[in-house]
Structure formats: structure tokens, C-alpha cells
């Protein structure tokens, strides 16, 4: 941590990136044959797999004519020496919520179009995220993987009794009007950088994850801060501007991977 802080104070990063430069992103889709949509994403040494599984179930009482979205994350023990078997860790729960919030608040998925019979049957979207290797910035890798899995997902067939015929996919895509993407920044000392590596993440004073979506232009859809240090309005505005730019670059990678 001390080394990271000294290097950053000198205007550099350990991996020689610029403060506004992301690591190389690779996206591979259709990797899980049993899922309705799936993707593997690597950002530097961070590797994440996301799968979309569809089911038919009852809607929530307060949204009787809308589908259901559930995001869950799991930290595989071999992904990091600090990850242990057992119930989800607090940071795994936070990761799930961050990915969920960007998707949900973006309104990119038309949940009403996932209604089969109001008050009785709706499509339930389950997004499962597995961290395979932790090289830092698991949130953005998970967000990209979830987005790519959603974009490539197809609804499975259902029989006359409403039973899902898994393994038999229709040509119907999920009703998406945009691609929500999270972009994470960390503040170390007085410096702010995008896409923190694991050493940078461990040395952060503050973290801000910004969700953007491409609906009628690029729009801000979510934001969450962590860490003890404060952020000025000017710093937040600069991060939003970079998040909009970088988010669109990542979205193009998702579009290309989904072809």
C-alpha cells in the first residue's frame, strides 16, 4: 500500500497506465450451454463469468405486471487467498447490489414486457456472477459480464402448461433498450484513477462507481461511493464525464462480442 501511494503521489501507476486509462478488456459470449445467456470478461488479470437463467414465477405484489430481476455474486475461493467458502461475504453482496442497481435504475430492461399473466406468471431473470480471479475492479468486470449475458440472452420455450423447456431457446431476445455499464474510480491521496488494479484498490481512500446507459444519448443511472475520504463536486463531475466516455467504449465492445 505504501509503495502504491508513493508511486501515485509521483503521478504514475505501478502498471504504467495513465490515470484515465483502463486495462485491456476481453469479452467472450455464449460460454455456458445451459444458460440462456452468458459471458466471460477479463479486465487485466481480473476474470468474471456471468450467466442468465430464466424461470417462470409469481410477480411481487407491488409490481404484479412486471418481471423479476435478481443478481447474485459468488467469490470463488481460488480466485483470491482472502476468499473463503461459505455464505456470501459482505463485499460479494455489495458487488451484486452495485451490478443490480445499474441495471435496475437504467430501466434498460422493460420489465412489463416480461409479464405473462398479470398477478400470476412473469419471467424471472436470474443473473449469476462468479469471480474466477481477482485482479482488482471486480465490479466493472461483473457489470460488463452481466451486460453481455443480458444482450445475448434468449427466452426459452414454454409449453401449454407454462413449464419452461430448458435447452430449447426461442429467437426472442430480452426487451432491452440500452446497455447499462458501471465504471469505477478510486481516489488515492489527491489523485483519481479509473479501473483500479488490486494493489490500487487495497490502497484507496475513496471509491466511486458510476453507472451509465445509452438511452436517448448517454445518461447517468446510478452512483455509489465507498471509503473514508470525501470527493468534491468538481471531482465527481469529472468522473461522471469520464464514465460516460469510457462506458460507451465498453458498450461497443459488448455489442461487438454479441454479434
Q: What is the pLDDT averaged over residues 89-106?
A: 92
Q: Is residue 2 part of a domain?
A: no
**Beta carbons of 254 and 212 less than 8 angstroms apart:** no
Q: Is residue 129 part of a domain?
A: yes
Q: Is residue 7 part of a domain?
A: no
Longest Cα separation, the chain: 66
On the question of pLDDT at 180 being above 80, the answer is: yes
Identify which has the larger pLDDT, 70 or 87.
70
Model pLDDT, residue 82: 76
Task: Show Cβ contacts of residue 114 under 8 Å, excluding neighbours closer than 6 positions.
Answer: 66, 67, 68, 122, 123, 125, 174, 175
On the question of pLDDT at 159 being above 90, the answer is: no
CATH number at residue 216: 3.30.230.70
Q: Is residue 244 part of a domain?
A: yes
**Domain span holding position 242:** 16-258
The count of domains in the chain is: 1
Cell for 78?
A: 481460488
Model pLDDT, residue 233: 97
Identify which has the larger pLDDT, 206 or 77.
206
On the question of pLDDT at 165 being above 90, the answer is: no
**Beta carbons of 150 and 176 less than 8 angstroms apart:** yes
Q: What is the pLDDT averaged over residues 142-165?
A: 91
Q: What is the pLDDT averaged over residues 240-254?
A: 97
Q: Is residue 6 part of a domain?
A: no
Helices (H), 126-180: 138-152
Model pLDDT, residue 163: 82
Q: Is residue 32 part of a domain?
A: yes
Q: Is residue 1 part of a domain?
A: no
Q: What is the pLDDT averaged over residues 152-163?
A: 87
Q: Is residue 10 part of a domain?
A: no
Cell for 96?
A: 451484486
Cell for 244?
A: 460516460
Distance of CA 182 to CAs 24, 164, 195, Å? 16, 32, 10
Q: What is the pLDDT averaged over residues 143-149?
A: 98
Amino acid at each position: 500500500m505504501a509503495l502504491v501511494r508513493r508511486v501515485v503521489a509521483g503521478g504514475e501507476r505501478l502498471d504504467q497506465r495513465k490515470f484515465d486509462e483502463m486495462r485491456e478488456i476481453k469479452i467472450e459470449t455464449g460460454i455456458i450451454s445451459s444458460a440462456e445467456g452468458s459471458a466471460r470478461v477479463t479486465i487485466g488479470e481480473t476474470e468474471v463469468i456471468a450467466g442468465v437463467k430464466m424461470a417462470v414465477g409469481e410477480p411481487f405484489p407491488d409490481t404484479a405486471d412486471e418481471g423479476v430481476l435478481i443478481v447474485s455474486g459468488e467469490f470463488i475461493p481460488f480466485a483470491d487467498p482472502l476468499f473463503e467458502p461459505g455464505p456470501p461475504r459482505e463485499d460479494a453482496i455489495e458487488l451484486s447490489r452495485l451490478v443490480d442497481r445499474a441495471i435496475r435504475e437504467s430501466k434498460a430492461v422493460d420489465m412489463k414486457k416480461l409479464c405473462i399473466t398479470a398477478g400470476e406468471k412473469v419471467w424471472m431473470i436470474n443473473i449469476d456472477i462468479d469471480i474466477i480471479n481477482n485482479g482488482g475492479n471486480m465490479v466493472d468486470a461483473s457489470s460488463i459480464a452481466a451486460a453481455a449475458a443480458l444482450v445475448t440472452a434468449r427466452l426459452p420455450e414454454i409449453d401449454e402448461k407454462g413449464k419452461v423447456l430448458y435447452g430449447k431457446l426461442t429467437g426472442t431476445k430480452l426487451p432491452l433498450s440500452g446497455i447499462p455499464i458501471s465504471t469505477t474510480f478510486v481516489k488515492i491521496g489527491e489523485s483519481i484513477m479509473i479501473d483500479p488494479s488490486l494493489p490500487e484498490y487495497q490502497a484507496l481512500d475513496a471509491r466511486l462507481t458510476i453507472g451509465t446507459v445509452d438511452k436517448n444519448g448517454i445518461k447517468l443511472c446510478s452512483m455509489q461511493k465507498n471509503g473514508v475520504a470525501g470527493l468534491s463536486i468538481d471531482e465527481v463531475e469529472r468522473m461522471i464525464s469520464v464514465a460516460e466516455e469510457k462506458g460507451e467504449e465498453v458498450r461497443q465492445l459488448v455489442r461487438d462480442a454479441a454479434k
